[in-house]
Amino acid sequence: MIGGEINEAVKLLNEGQVVGIPTETVYGLAANGLNEKSVVSIFKIKNRPFFDPLILHFSDLESISSYVEGLNPNALKLAKAFWPGPLTLLLKKSSKVPDIVTSGSELVAVRVPNHPLTLSLLKQLDYPLAAPSANPFGYISPTKAEHVEKQLGNLVPYILDGGDCQVGLESTIVDCSEEKLKIKRLGGLSVQEIENCIGETIEIEISGGSNPSAPGQLDKHYAPKTPFLIVEDLESQIIRFKDKKLAFLGFGEIQVPENLYILNLSPNSDMSEAAQNLFHYMRLLDQIGVDCILAMNVPNIDLGRAINDRMKRAAADFIHYN
């Protein structure tokens, strides 16, 4: 059920149940992050592998202190600059954090989301919320309450409706467990903003495979059910798939054949608009019954790096399509 009652969400969470919550990035599937049984429910509802760690959400920086072993100066600088906001910090966890949340890692991912409903919700709880994206594992992340209801509605007793997500990409994850910071997941906060804040270049260490050190690092992720292909030359691919029904996910000023169904992430080449539209448009194209979705990378700057990362992971299985 979709609704706007924070008290209903509080009641269900205190009972150990799972609810959908809005954030500025994407909708989350939330449960008491200190209740192992509740956290297990998240994994089961999403069909998420237990080796893929979760993020703990807090109402403010102060409430995080007892769940981590401390913040180095750069981590504190980032937290003060960008929280609440689309930034997750990876820190050494305290004994209060259950191992199931971190998939056995000594590091825990924490953030303060920038959404008034969820911040108000968190302030009424005496525990953090573990909350990955509220979608079946590996599928496109939800940016509307309706997305959650359509995919998980029968498994989730309540979805707190906070409107459309304003960022539309998951949070950027920065490993702050050592003095030298590393970006572990590109997201809704750009690399340039982070580097400007700390005054130095930051290493990007985006791993893949089946042993992620942070959420969102698996090779295939954020994927529609329809085969998804990133192309450099659209015309040649249209010829290649001349007998297929195609759709195109575009960006900026583009010329495409009239018979090709297209959604444009941002006709004006606005990266923030493109990020906000990405998952919603991927979802729409996945529902129109085409044989293949074609897409082109956006300029690899600012939020474009995160957009391209999501599309690359969405296209990971395309080699199996013919």
In order, the DSSP letters of 68-85 are BS---HHHHHHHHHH-SS
Calpha distance 70→179 (Å, rounded): 12
In this structure, which topology does domain 228-320 adopt according to CATH? Rossmann fold (3.40.50)
What are the structure tokens assigned to 270, written together? 């606005």
Q: What is the pLDDT of residue 220?
A: 61
A 10 A CB-CB count for 218 gives 20
Whole-prediction pTM value?
Answer: 0.89
Token reading at 116: 């008034």
Six-digit token string for 119: 């911040």
**For the chain, which residues score pLDDT lower than 50?**
320-322
Side-by-side strand order, sheet with 2-3: 2-3, 159-160, 19-21, 28-32, 129-130, 55-57, 107-111, 87-92, 172-175, 182-185, 203-204
Domain residue ranges in the chain: 2-204, 228-320
Residues 139-177: tens digit of each pLDDT: 899 999 999 999 998 899 999 999 999 999 999 999 999
* Pick from 192, 13, 28, 11: nearest CA to 109: 28
- As given in the structure block, the two tokens for residue 159 are 């979805």
Task: Write down the pLDDT at residue 214.
Answer: 61
Residue 212's pLDDT is 57
- Return the pLDDT at 321: 46
Cβ contacts of 258 within 8 Å, gap of 6 or more: none
CATH architecture type of domain 2-204: Alpha-Beta Complex (3.90)
The pLDDT score that the predictor gives to residue 213 is 57
